[in-house]
Amino acid sequence: MRIEGKEYRTIWFENNVVKIIDQTKLPHQFIIKDLKTIKDSINAIKVMEVRGAPLIGATAAYGLVLAIIENDDQSFLKKSAEDLINSRPTAINLKWAVERMMNKLLGVNSDQILKIALNEANEICEEDIKFCKNIGLNGLKIIEEIYNKKKNTVNILTHCNAGWLATINWGTATSPIYHAHKKGIPVHVWADETRPRNQGANLTSYELNEEGIKNTIITDNTGGILMQRGEVDMCIVGTDRTLANGDVCNKVGTYLKALAAHDNKIPFYVALPSSTIDWNIKNHKDIPIEERNSEELSHMEGLDEKGDIKKIQIYPKKSKAMNLAFDVTPAKYVTGLITEKGVCEASEKGLKDLFK
Q: Which residues are catalytic?
A: 240
Residues near ligand MRU (CB under 6 A): 51-54, 91, 160, 162, 166-167, 172, 199, 238-240, 250-251, 325
Backbone angles phi, psi at 49, to 5 degrees: -65, -35
Indicate the residue among 53 and 77 with the shorter CB distance to ligand MRU: 53
Smallest gap from Cβ 160 to ligand MRU, in A, equals: 4
Considering only CA atoms, which of 172, 183, 184, 176 is closest in space to residue 156? Answer: 176
**Minimum distance of ligand MRU from residue 88's CB (angstroms):** 7
Q: Which is nearer to ligand MRU, 172 or 215 (CB)?
A: 172
Start-to-end CA distance of the chain, whole Å, equals 32
Q: How far is the CB of 163 from ligand MRU (least distance, A)?
A: 7
Ranked by CB distance to ligand MRU, the top (closest) residue is: 238
> Least separation, in Å, of the C-beta of 72 and ligand MRU?
30
Q: Where are the alpha helices (DSSP H) in the chain?
A: 38-46, 53-70, 74-85, 92-105, 110-150, 175-182, 199, 205-210, 223-228, 254-263, 295-298, 348-355
**Can you give 73-95 as a three-state secondary structure string?**
CHHHHHHHHHHHHCCCCCCHHHH
- Of the two residues 147 and 206, which places its CB atom closer to ligand MRU in the complex? 206
Q: With respect to ligand MRU, which residue has the nearer C-beta, 80 or 199?
A: 199
Can you spell out the DSSP letters for 195-264?
A: TTTTHIIIIIHHHHHHTT-EEEEE-TTSHHHHHHTT--SEEEE--SEEETTS-EEEETTHHHHHHHHHHT
